[in-house]
Amino acid sequence: TTFHHSVDSAESSDVHVAMYDVYADATLQMRRVHLKRFSLGNSAANWSYVFQTLTNGHDSLRVRISRDGSRIVAVLHNNATNKEEVKVFTPGSSLPIREFLVDVGSPFRAIDLSSDGTKLYVAGSIRIAVADTNSGATLFSGIIFSTLYNGHAISGDGSYFAYGTSGQVVVYKRSPTTGQYALHYTHALAGQNLCDRIDISDDNSTLACAFNFTDNNLSATIRALDLPTGNLLMSDTAQKRDIGDPRT
């Protein structure tokens, strides 16, 4: 029996991965995490990797692939250290080319990999971090003094990242001269809502975000922003009746 599945596929090559956990032994107390790489037309895995770290059954395990499939990045929370174990692979081998730790102070809630595979974004319950997958160095680490939801994204080359919170999306930009990330702008939407879906285009041009309203109307607003400037490109709101009421 397998649990907590995470899967991903490359956009422009035949590289597909699955990460999951299984019972470690007959006691059914601990879980062991597996990572497998697949290709089309082959039901068996091209290769498999088994993590040394056992888990207590938590769901903080994810895998992501760069757009061209040249880099596979797997992240697993270690209960003993309370840190995230990151392992970087190429599609041709089950031996990690790099291993490092990221500290977000809790089991991670979300990750995102830049489409070029060079930057990894990791979000915990109160802390977010960005790591360089080439060196393993943490490029940014900060405590967020607002509620984090499910909206997290990093741009194609890792020069921007964004997260959603109550009523707004927050965008950070990396300085091309100092290499430091700093607050770039926030985009707010009035009303009782939370931003819990974000995506950024590979070319760093556009950010899309979704705001779920928690009032009686239960509407959702989708917005697109010009990523460098924050200018609003489009906005569309779907009411509850538009989504599920057959009488409209």
pTM given for the model: 0.93
3-state secondary structure 214-240: CCCCCCEEEEEEECCCCCEEEEEEECH
In this predicted structure, what is the pLDDT of residue 248? 42
More confident residue, 1 or 224: 224
**Does residue 242 have a pLDDT over 60?**
no
In this predicted structure, what is the pLDDT of residue 247? 41
Model confidence pLDDT, tens digit, residues 139-172: 999 999 999 999 999 999 999 999 999 999 999 9
User: Which strand ranges, in their side-by-side order, compose the sheet holding 72-78?
Assistant: 61-65, 72-78, 83-89, 98-102
**Does residue 243 have a pLDDT over 60?**
no
Model confidence pLDDT, tens digit, residues 83-127: 999 999 999 999 999 999 999 999 999 999 999 999 999 999 999
* Residues 181-191, mean pLDDT to the nearest whole number: 97
Confidence of residue 48 (pLDDT cuts 50, 70, 90): very high
| Pairing relationship of beta strands 181-188 and 72-78 according to DSSP bridges | unpaired
Question: How many angstroms separate the CA atoms of 24 and 33, rounded?
Answer: 9
Model confidence pLDDT, tens digit, residues 1-29: 899 999 999 999 999 999 999 999 988 88
Cα torsion angle, 125, 105, 82, 8, sign = positive
Q: What is the mean pLDDT of the chain?
A: 94
